[in-house]
Structure 1
């Protein structure tokens, strides 16, 4: 696993030890960033269910200003911190051990807003909850006007339309992986 492009291109990243996480493959990561890179212009990243932090770190490497990494696993938090040190992005990031609901509430209290959000939860436990998580991000006012949300799930999962008034939604399939990209349509 490595940083694919940008300032830290080629730097190796550690994967979370064990079999509980499913790192985004370089092929899928490259496809995601081929889709969203034209929209990256500074801004803040929320990497929810961050695992190794590879998606948030890739976004920093490509020009995002700041990233918040959230994961409930202690091993993931250790791995994210190692990868941030490896890429020298410690000062451009915050890392928190928390479940998604607690994290969203705490970020809302701080009145944080994000331009890019990555949702890559464990498929079996959480992929059906992605619409609920996106709704919570919207309701808690954590999304910038033209935020982009990238959701990773099984390719067999057909993510329901969140809200045609709030989001433009596009689906992609790469082997066993499905990607749904939500483009926020203005607003507050």
Structure 2
């Protein structure tokens, strides 16, 4: 696993050993960033099921300003911090050990608003629709923000979730990537 583009291009990232996580492959990550980027200008990013921090680090490498990384596994938090240290840009990241539901409340309490959201939950435990509805209700997702969801290819997410409209779906092997954009009514 490597950083594909931007300031940290080519840096090798660590991943968790074992079956607890499923890091986004470089191929899928490259495709995601080609669909939503490929470069950014000062965005605030959420990587809700961060695992190794791979997606958040790629976003910062490509020009995002701040990334919030959450995971509830102690080993994942350790790997995320190791990977962030490789960037030498630790101030661009906030890393917290907590589950996704608590993370949403933490973001609300800290008045964080987001331009780019990555949701790659464990396939068996995914609650993407409910969590996005809660983020919208808490006013965490900025107008015109993008949301990237990774699921098993069998999972069909809805065409819209609140003000989020589906803009693209792509299948890569056993993984499906679904991208939403927040559309504001005029």
Identify which of 151, 159, 172 aligns with 1:161: 159
Counterpart secondary structure, 2:76? helix
Q: Encode CA deviations 1:133-184: one digit per residue, 9 max, x unaligned.
A: 1111101110111110000001111112333x61220211111110010100
> Partner of 1:48 in structure 2?
48
User: Across the two proteins, how many residue pairs are aligned to each other?
Assistant: 185
Q: Does 1:21 align with 2:21?
A: yes
Q: Aligned to 1:134, what secondary structure does the other structure show?
A: helix
Separation in structure 2 between the aligned mates of residue 38 and residue 184 of structure 1, nearest angstrom: 18
Indicate if the aligned counterparts of 2:77 and 2:97 stay in contact, CA closer than 8 A: yes
Q: Aligned runs of 1:95-110 on 2, under 5 Å?
A: 95-110=95-110
Whether contact under 8 Å (1:116, 1:148) holds in the other structure is yes
**1:171 aligned partner:** 169
How many angstroms apart in 1 are the aligned matches of 2:55 and 2:146? 13
Cα distance in structure 1, aligned partners of 2:170 and 2:135 = 22
Give the match's secondary structure for 1:171.
Answer: strand
Specify the SS of the correspondent of 1:106.
helix
Structure 1: 5+ residue stretches without partners: none
Deviation, 1:16, is 1.3
Task: Identify which of 141, 163, 178 aligns with 1:180.
Answer: 178
Report if the CA contact (8 A) 1:17-1:75 is conserved. Answer: no
SS at match of 2:135: helix
Q: SS of 1:147's equivalent? A: strand
Instruction: Please tell me the root mean square deviation across aligned C-alpha atoms, in Å.
Output: 1.5
The match for 1:144 among 112, 131, 142 is: 142
